[in-house]
Structure formats: structure tokens, C-alpha cells
Amino acid sequence: MEAKKQNTMISLGFVTVRHHPVHGYFGGYLILNSLARPLEFHCTLPVQPTRAQQILYGATLSEFVCGEQIARALVTKAKCTPEVLFADTQSVLTLRHMHSIPLSVVETGESNESSLLRPQTKRDQFHRFKAFGHSFTLLPEYASDARAFESLFDTNKSPIDLLEPFGRIEEAILEAHPATKAA
């Protein structure tokens, strides 16, 4: 009976990137089971884009650093593959071009009060949908991913707070990099 329970457990990935004005970009990736218990955690060292990258990537620098560099490295490093990925910043969404795992931003509507800031993207077109009390944002070319999120909530009887894991990740990043606490 216990083996059957473990087989039906789902895993959810939560990936975020924060920007510190002095130290650069920091990423964190937390994979939770359906009981909100951690299965895996990874974080990055600070990434500081070069001046050449700033010039060449221009308005897309945040998407490049956050999604294609940091989030991609974190997800690739993980041993577990979650059913879906959640992010809390739109700059991470470009990761979806490189992985087949459905990826959505869970809209928080909150401001970030820590010394780490959520990177902003210059993109203005997204696919948005609401499900089970949450607002989600997808890249428009992956709008069909909405079905994966909706079916996940249909089959998951014990809903997980989808915003709380991002606080855990940020706390762990601050713990791993104490210099970021002093702004």
C-alpha cells in the first residue's frame, strides 16, 4: 500500500531568480512533493553580466540571464523531473524554450521587500489564465501548457500554497549568500 502512495505522489518545481544591485543575479530551484516537502534544492552563485552582454542583449538581458542561463542550469542539474514548473518572475519564462516541462509564472501581486529584487522583462505579450484561485502567465507559444496546470489541480486533492515555496527559496539564497542581506 505504501508503494502505491509513493507512485501517485506528484512533484512540483519552483524556480526563481533574484537580482541584487551590487552582487548580481542569484537563482534558486526547489522541488517539492505533493505534501510540500522538499525533494531537491539548488542555488547558484551570483551571476554578473558583462558589459558586452548588457550591450548585445539590450532589453532581453534579463530573459537571457534569468531564463536561459540561471534557470536552465538549475533545472538541468536536478535529478528529479517535476510534472510542472512554477516561477515568480516573467524573466524565467524563456526557460520553456529549452525544456519540455510546462512552465508558468504564478502571479503574486506583491512587492518584494527584501534586498533581492525580481528581475523585470520588457516583453509585453503573454498568455494569462486563472485556475483555482490563482492567476498564471505563460509564453503565448506554449498556451497549451495551461491544460497541464489545470489537470494538475483537478487531480491534486490537497492544494499546495503556490506562493510560499518562493519565500523558502529566497530565504535559502540569503542564507547561502549572507553578503546579500546587507543592502
Q: Report if residue 44 sits inside a domain.
A: yes
Q: Report if residue 96 sits inside a domain.
A: yes
What is the pLDDT, as a whole number, of residue 178?
72
Closest C-alpha among 125, 160, 117 to residue 143: 125
Q: Report if residue 142 sits inside a domain.
A: yes
What is the pLDDT, as a whole number, of residue 114?
52
Q: Report if residue 2 sits inside a domain.
A: no
Adjacency order of strands within the sheet including 24-33: 38-43, 24-33, 11-20, 84-87, 103-106, 134-138, 127-131
Separation between Cα atoms, residue 57 and residue 24, nearest integer Å = 16
Q: Report if residue 52 sits inside a domain.
A: yes
Q: Give me the domain span that covers residue 17.
A: 7-177
The CATH number that applies at residue 99 is 3.30.2170
What is the pLDDT, as a whole number, of residue 107?
85
Could you give the count of Cα atoms lying within 13 Å of 112 in the half-sphere of its Cβ? 20
- pLDDT tens, N- to C-terminus, the chain (183 residues): 444 444 467 899 999 999 988 889 999 999 999 889 999 999 999 999 999 999 999 999 999 999 999 999 999 999 999 999 999 999 999 999 999 999 999 987 654 445 556 666 666 789 998 887 788 999 999 999 999 988 887 666 556 789 999 999 999 998 887 766 654
What is the pLDDT, as a whole number, of residue 155?
65
- Domains in the chain, number: 1
Residue 44: partners with Cβ closer than 8 Å, 6 or more residues away: 25, 26, 27, 28, 70, 73, 74
Separation between Cα atoms, residue 28 and residue 37, nearest integer Å = 16
Burial, 37: exposed, middle or buried (Cβ in 10 Å; 0-12, 13-18, 19+)? Answer: exposed
Q: Report if residue 56 sits inside a domain.
A: yes
Question: Do 169 and 14 form a contact (C-beta atoms < 8 A)?
Answer: yes
Q: Report if residue 89 sits inside a domain.
A: yes
What is the pLDDT, as a whole number, of residue 31?
97
Question: Do 74 and 27 form a contact (C-beta atoms < 8 A)?
Answer: yes
What is the pLDDT, as a whole number, of residue 5?
42
What is the pLDDT, as a whole number, of residue 141?
94
What is the pLDDT, as a whole number, of residue 2?
44
